[in-house]
Amino acid sequence: MRLNVEFTTKLKKFGAESTYECFNCGNCTAICPLSTNDEQFPRKFIRYLQLGLEDKIKSSIEPWLCYYCGECQQTCPRQANPGELMMSVRRYLTTVYDWTGLSKRLYTSTAWKFFSVGILFFATLLIIYVYHGPIVTEHTELETFAPAEIVHPAGYVFGTVLAVILLGNVYRMYRYIMSDNNIKIPLSIYIQELWTLIKHFTTQARLRLCENKSLWLKHWLLMSGYTAAFILVQVDILTFWSLTNNPPPAWHPAKLLWTYATIAMLYATTVAIIGRLKKEEPVHQYSHSTDWMFLILLW
Ligand code: SF4
Ligand code: SF4
């Protein structure tokens, strides 16, 4: 096993300021509603961080089992902020899995944050500038301002680039996790567990184990609103029903779903932004710049 004494210095860039405050008492593991006999965190994991056990950290799934409910933060006698430490590790691991190196730049460089948002902004403006039809100011004229035959191919290009990057990262995450655990999982187990995946994706049931049930509700609203919006965009690409001057009536099922997605996402992101400004709840006390970026883009 290799120790990296510089690891905590590296982790500070991702928000982990209090790694050495922890004296391993185990209060956080005792209070964490998601920690089990098989998967004990965050205490054990914080020990890995202190020792700089990089290989263990890279191959562990424990950081991804934490929902950041913040309950452990309230019981830590050393203010080591275990929930935030787990969050910082997730940021770090994202950069490990990302083969493009973009995540690392976005997490650690302010210049790159502004640069990437700027590129996206100006690329969108350029597409509108080059391809728009006649400008009409008297009424809404979606078909010329943002023609579907331009918006959708541009969406395909953005979507394809993102999908290639993300699927590659998922594969690398899988390789890292399987490399250390030295086990072969037969295909039949993946098929059997499909139901578990669907159940947890649609219900986010594990977060309900935490004491603060409103956290689950806000999280579920955000997740379901985003998923509904994602599905509707795919349907729109095939049917071209929204970027038209004659949108469907309010009672149309797709329109109702869009309304739900809009309200759910606006509510959940607004509450999270206010929470992060107030910093009263443990889950909102520490905000990395990318947390703000994510919330603002989503809002
Ligand atoms: S993070 Fe706090 S509660 Fe958890 S083991 Fe360390 S000192 Fe104890
Ligand atoms: S933030 Fe919540 S889920 Fe994560 S380790 Fe702490 S108590 Fe457990």
- 206-233 confidence digits (pLDDT tens): 999 999 889 999 999 999 999 999 888 8
Structure tokens belonging to residue 82: 């275990």
Residues 6 or more apart whose CB falls under 8 angstroms from that of 170 comprise: 97
Query: Residue 169 — pLDDT band, cuts 50, 70, 90?
Result: very high
Does the pLDDT value for residue 181 go beyond 70? no
Q: Which domain holds residue 140?
A: 98-183
CA of 197 to the centre of ligand 2 (A): 21
Q: Which ligand is nearest to the CA of 77?
A: 1
The answer to whether residues 13 and 67 belong to one domain is yes
Atom of ligand 1 nearest to the CA of 85: 1
Structure tokens belonging to residue 263: 């309200």
Q: Which ligand is nearest to the CA of 82?
A: 1
CA of 133 to the centre of ligand 2 (A): 52
Structure tokens belonging to residue 172: 């690398």
Task: Round to the nearest angstrom and report the end-to-end CA distance of the chain.
Answer: 44
User: Does residue 1 belong to any structural domain of this protein?
Assistant: no
The answer to whether residues 156 and 213 belong to one domain is no
Residue predicted with more confidence, 89 or 136: 89
CA of 68 to the centre of ligand 2 (A): 5
User: Does residue 275 belong to any structural domain of this protein?
Assistant: yes
Indicate the residue among 70, 96, 122 that finishes a domain. Answer: 96
The answer to whether residues 173 and 217 belong to one domain is no
Helices (H), strands (E): how many in the chain? 15, 0
* Spatial CA neighbour of 32 closest among 79, 61, 70, 84: 70
Q: Report pTM.
A: 0.89
The domain tally of the chain equals: 3
Percent of the chain with pLDDT over 70: 98
pLDDT at res. 272: 95
Atom of ligand 1 nearest to the CA of 29: 4
pLDDT at res. 4: 83
Mean per-residue pLDDT, 52-79: 92
Q: What is the DSSP letter of 42?
A: S
Which of 86, 88, 210, 213 most suits a substitution to test ligand 2, by most atoms within 8 Å of the C-beta? 86
User: Does residue 248 belong to any structural domain of this protein?
Assistant: yes
CA of 72 to the centre of ligand 1 (A): 8
The answer to whether residues 36 and 21 belong to one domain is yes
User: To which residue do tokens 């089990």 refer?
Assistant: 36
The CB of 67 under 6 Å from ligand 2? The reply is yes
CA of 27 to the centre of ligand 1 (A): 6
Q: Which residues line ligand 1 (CB under 6 A)?
A: 22-28, 43, 46, 76, 78, 80, 82
Percent of the chain with pLDDT over 90: 60
Q: CA 88 to CA 95: how far, in whole Å?
A: 11
3-class state of residue 188 by DSSP: helix
Query: Residue 282 — pLDDT band, cuts 50, 70, 90?
Result: confident
Q: Nearest residue CA, atom 3 of ligand 1?
A: 76
The answer to whether residues 103 and 85 belong to one domain is no
